[in-house]
Structure 1
Amino acid sequence: MLNGIFAKKLAIPRDMLTKKAVKQSAENHTGARQMSFMSFSLDQKDIIAKQNCPWPPHNMIGREPLNRTIYDLKTLTTVFGYMKKGHFKPKNCSSYQKIAVVVPFRDREPQLRIFLNNFIPRIYRQQLEFTIYVVEQTPGNLFNKGMLINTGFIEAMKDMKYDCIVIHDVDILAEDDRILYTCGDNPAQLSTKIQKYGYSIPFERNFGGIVIFSTEQFKAINGYPNQFFGWGREDHEVSNRIRRVHYNLSRPFHQYGHCGSVQHQKATKGTDRLEMLRISESIWKKDGLFDLFDHAYTILEKQRKPLYVWIYRDIDMKKVRQKLVSYINKGGKVHK
């Protein structure tokens, strides 16, 4: 039987428990439970070598309002002194999964500070090992969210063998720490009740805000598209990729998916985003994670700050679009 307190608080369906987890829970004096959506990465040798962190976590608070105060980074570094070079690892137990958090970023410094102040304590209470990667694009070309995310994934995997990658918009923040940052059998959207959309999602195929993949899933969909410049539709293409490789789009914490929105100046929309969405249907296996190095992969700086790893990269839109021409058939309409 599930511990009554945790079952009520997290409302974990009985069918989300694996037989292995049920057996383990009977032997575990902490009463922790392991759920099927994150059990696949559990390694038996890790269980033997070190006691697992309690699961579900014991010190969850639930839903609480965002703190929108903009603190300076020095203050935040002092408050979150357990973060070392953007990384946290529980000292006394073994985290079930290692999480890379990738934040595509440009011109959002106040929002980044609000993000750090709200995100870090919530994931910290879940006792997960994690690193935050803030991937910033240089000024000049239109913002390319997809390529920044792909960059973050590649750079993260150079540092550690992560189990999961969280793609996190800097302006959409979880209000509830019961939104667990753990990956499972399908890619998952964790932000399902978004404040700026009336605490709902804008449309059924939306896959933005806060989403999570296992590393295998992210590779299987070839990451994010590289051809979307400006705001809009790259998340829709990722949703299509998930379906093309026969994953289901999961929303495991819909009951707790409340996410606050942080105001900022609106980003410039991509003028050809609908055309890129159409073209991506035929080139998605070429355009993405595995093709990233062909796009003049230029990392200007990778710096390990106290609260996050900062990656600064240049993206040349002209060169990226030149590559697109080689992908499509003659006569294909491409905006340059």
Structure 2
Amino acid sequence: MHDVDLLPLNTNLSYAYPEQPFHLAAPNLHPRYHYDKFIGGILLINRKHFQLVNGLSNRYWGWGLEDDEFYVRLRDAHLNITRPQNISTGINDTFRHIHGKERKRDTAKCYNQREVTRKRDRQTGLHDVMYNILNYKNLEINGAPLIVINIQLFCNYSTTPWCDCSTKKTEGNKMP
């Protein structure tokens, strides 16, 4: 899982297939987030472990906090999160973080999303995510093949009415 606004600068960072979850953008290397439980930015995880923890919660729409809840899923499954060792660069020169004020982010929160997403989600995840694959794009970067999959996510309005904040609604209003 790789944030699109975080670009690696250190060629010693490894994207090798991990035996355990591997947090490449460790707090001592990430230019912005430095708390011990942080696993955002770049996290390499194999399919077996992703399925074991039921993927990510489907209650997060917009930007932020989904990786903190994912950390709890990994911890509860007793998975060891490893991080890069012997990297000579630090928070100022390991990654380029394109995160300027001119860049608009989806930080709008509606309904009671903030309160609900602060709680551990044991109901949603990989088993109930709904989506359509819109298209595939085959790319090559430095000789390595890459497949980009464009998907459309669907929201369960009864459990996450905040997935659509396009019009002003109150908590009592029902979504179509």
- TM-score normalized by the length of structure 1: 0.40
Contact between 1:179 and 1:253, CA under 8 Å: does it hold in 2?
Answer: no
**Partner residue in 1 for 2:62:** 230
Contact between 2:56 and 2:126, CA under 8 Å: does it hold in 1?
Answer: yes
Q: CA deviation at 1:178?
A: 1.3
1:187 correspondence with 2:21? yes
**Residues 270 and 233 (structure 1), Cα distance of their counterparts in 2 relative to 1, 3 Å cut:** farther
Cα distance in 1 for residues equivalent to 2:148 and 2:133: 11
Contact between 1:188 and 1:211, CA under 8 Å: does it hold in 2?
Answer: yes
Cα distance in 2 for residues equivalent to 1:244 and 1:321: 28
**Residues 237 and 312 (structure 1), Cα distance of their counterparts in 2 relative to 1, 3 Å cut:** same
Q: 2:2 aligns with which of 136, 148, 168?
A: 168
Contact between 1:233 and 1:274, CA under 8 Å: does it hold in 2?
Answer: no
Contact between 2:12 and 2:87, CA under 8 Å: does it hold in 1?
Answer: no
**Residues 263 and 232 (structure 1), Cα distance of their counterparts in 2 relative to 1, 3 Å cut:** closer
Contact between 1:207 and 1:235, CA under 8 Å: does it hold in 2?
Answer: yes
1:261 correspondence with 2:93? no
**Partner residue in 1 for 2:127:** 290
- Show CA shifts across 1:41-67 (max 9, x none): xxxxxxxxxxxxxxxxxxxxxxxxxxx
Q: 1:246 aligns with which of 51, 65, 78?
A: 78
Q: CA deviation at 1:324?
A: 5.3
Higher relative contact order (Cα pairs below 8 Å, separated by 6+ residues): 2
- TM-score normalized by the length of structure 2: 0.71
Secondary structure of the corresponding residue to residue 173 of structure 1: strand
**Partner residue in 2 for 1:302:** 136
- Show CA shifts across 1:35-91 (max 9, x none): xxxxxxxxxxxxxxxxxxxxxxxxxxxxxxxxxxxxxxxxxxxxxxxxxxxxxxxxx
**Residues 263 and 299 (structure 1), Cα distance of their counterparts in 2 relative to 1, 3 Å cut:** same
Tell me the amino acid that sits aligned with residue 11 of structure 2: D
Contact between 2:59 and 2:117, CA under 8 Å: does it hold in 1?
Answer: yes
**Residues 239 and 301 (structure 1), Cα distance of their counterparts in 2 relative to 1, 3 Å cut:** same
Cα distance in 1 for residues equivalent to 2:78 and 2:108: 28
Q: Which runs of 4+ in 1 moved over 6 A?
A: 333-336
Q: 2:41 aligns with which of 209, 212, 236?
A: 209
Question: Runs of 5+ in structure 2 lacking a partner?
Answer: 162-170
Q: CA deviation at 1:334?
A: 10
CA-based RMSD of the aligned residues comes to 2.8
Cα distance in 2 for residues equivalent to 1:245 and 1:316: 27
Contact between 1:233 and 1:273, CA under 8 Å: does it hold in 2?
Answer: no
Tell me the amino acid that sits aligned with residue 300 of structure 1: L
User: Which of the pair has more CA radius of gyration?
Assistant: 1
Tell me the amino acid that sits aligned with residue 277 of structure 1: R
Q: 1:322 aligns with which of 133, 143, 158?
A: 158
Contact between 2:23 and 2:39, CA under 8 Å: does it hold in 1?
Answer: yes
Q: Percent identity?
A: 25
Q: 1:177 aligns with which of 1, 4, 11?
A: 11
**Residues 267 and 321 (structure 1), Cα distance of their counterparts in 2 relative to 1, 3 Å cut:** same
**Partner residue in 2 for 1:101:** none
Q: CA deviation at 1:249?
A: 2.4
